[in-house]
Amino acid sequence: MSLAALRCQSGSVWGGLGYASLVYNALPYRQSASMDTRTLCLGILGDGDATGYEIKKFVEERFGHFLEVSQSAIYPALGELHREGLVSCREVRQEGRPDKKVYRLTEAGREALLAGLERSPGRHRVRSEFIALLLFARWLPPERVSRLLDEREADFARILGYLRQCADEARGPGERFVGGLGEAMVGAGLAYIREHRAALEQGLDPGDEEREAAP
Note whether 138 and 196 are same-domain residues: yes
- What percent of the chain lies above the pLDDT cut of 90? 47
Note whether 113 and 146 are same-domain residues: no
Number of folded domains that form the chain: 2
pLDDT attached to residue 125: 75
Instruction: Look over the chain and give the mean of its residue pLDDT values, rounded to a whole number.
Output: 80
Note whether 43 and 103 are same-domain residues: yes
Is 159's pLDDT higher than 80? yes
Note whether 133 and 112 are same-domain residues: no
Query: Is 31 contained in some domain?
Result: no
pLDDT attached to residue 80: 95
pLDDT digit string, tens, across residues 15-53: 333 333 433 333 343 333 346 889 999 999 998 999 999
Average confidence (pLDDT) over 158-187 = 85
Distance of CA 31 to the CA centre of its chain: 19
Query: Is 28 contained in some domain?
Result: no
Note whether 98 and 166 are same-domain residues: no
**8 Å CB contact between 174 and 47:** no
Name the nearest CA neighbour of 183 among 168, 201, 202.
Answer: 168
Among 38-47, 53-62, 96-105, whose mean pLDDT is lowest?
53-62
Query: Is 30 contained in some domain?
Result: no
Give the integer Cα–Cα distance in Å for 39 and 59.
12
Note whether 47 and 108 are same-domain residues: yes
Query: Is 11 contained in some domain?
Result: no
More confident residue, 94 or 187: 187
Is 203's pLDDT higher than 70? yes
| Residues 117-143 as b or e (16 or more Cβ within 10 Å = b) | eeeeeeeeeeeeeeeeebeebeeeebe
**Which residue pairs from 81-84 have beta carbons closer than 8 angstroms and sit at least 24 positions apart in sequence?**
81/38, 81/41, 81/42, 81/109, 84/108
Note whether 108 and 48 are same-domain residues: yes
Query: Is 79 contained in some domain?
Result: yes
**8 Å CB contact between 185 and 179:** no
Distance of CA 153 to the CA centre of its chain: 18
Name the nearest CA neighbour of 53 among 106, 84, 99.
Answer: 99
Give the integer Cα–Cα distance in Å for 65 and 111.
27
Domain around 130:
126-206
Name the nearest CA neighbour of 72 among 59, 62, 82, 61.
Answer: 59
DSSP 92: E
- What percent of the chain lies above the pLDDT cut of 70? 77
pTM: 0.62
CATH number (domain holding residue 56) = 1.10.10.10
Query: Is 202 contained in some domain?
Result: yes
